[in-house]
Amino acid sequence: MPDSVRHACSFLFVPATQPERLPKALASGADLVIADWEDAVAPADKERARTALADALAALPAPQRARLLVRINSEATPWFAADLQALAQLTAQGLAGAVVPKAERAQTLQAVAQAAGPQAALVPLV
């Protein structure tokens, strides 16, 4: 788990559909910024949110990527599988990890961990 996640005390959420807010959020003093694919994104915009975050991540320097998590959609939604595929690509590019909402089963966390990779942090919301 990255030290940026291990020692974090403050978190700032930003809708992933508004990636232009990420640099300002990262400069805000919050320990971590969480790009939201879940509640802050309308169902019709889920795919656009994934693409927007991928594009924004590519423009960020590595130290800022290490302070960025993404809150994925829960396993019970139709977006979970696509979120895991996108998560795998983003963590390979330096995203710190994922916030997992409604994490009620160990199998869910195992699936997210497998997609995210061994260096990624998981922040389960129970």
Number of H helices, E strands in the chain: 6, 5
* Distances from the Cα of 112 to the Cα of 3, 33, 71, 88, angstroms: 20, 19, 11, 9
Between 4 and 105, residue with greater pLDDT: 105
Read off the pLDDT of residues 62-113 as tens digits, 9 standing for 90 and up: 999 999 999 999 999 999 999 999 999 999 999 999 999 999 999 999 999 9
Read off the pLDDT of residues 43-54 as tens digits, 9 standing for 90 and up: 999 999 999 999
Q: What is the CATH number of the domain that holds 22?
A: 3.20.20.60
pLDDT at site 9? 87
Domain limits for position 12: 3-124
pLDDT at site 46? 98
What is the phi-psi region of residue 117: left when phi exceeds 0, alpha when psi lies from -120 to 50, beta otherwise?
Answer: left
Q: pTM to 2 decimals?
A: 0.93
Read off the pLDDT of residues 30-43 as tens digits, 9 standing for 90 and up: 999 999 999 999 99
How would residue 2 be classed by pLDDT, with cut points 50, 70 and 90? low
> What's the CA angle centered on 96, arms 33 and 39, to 5 degrees?
50
Query: Is residue 42 classed as helix, strand or coil in its secondary structure?
Result: coil
Cα–Cα dist 23/12, whole Å = 12
Cα–Cα dist 103/123, whole Å = 9
Domain count, the chain: 1
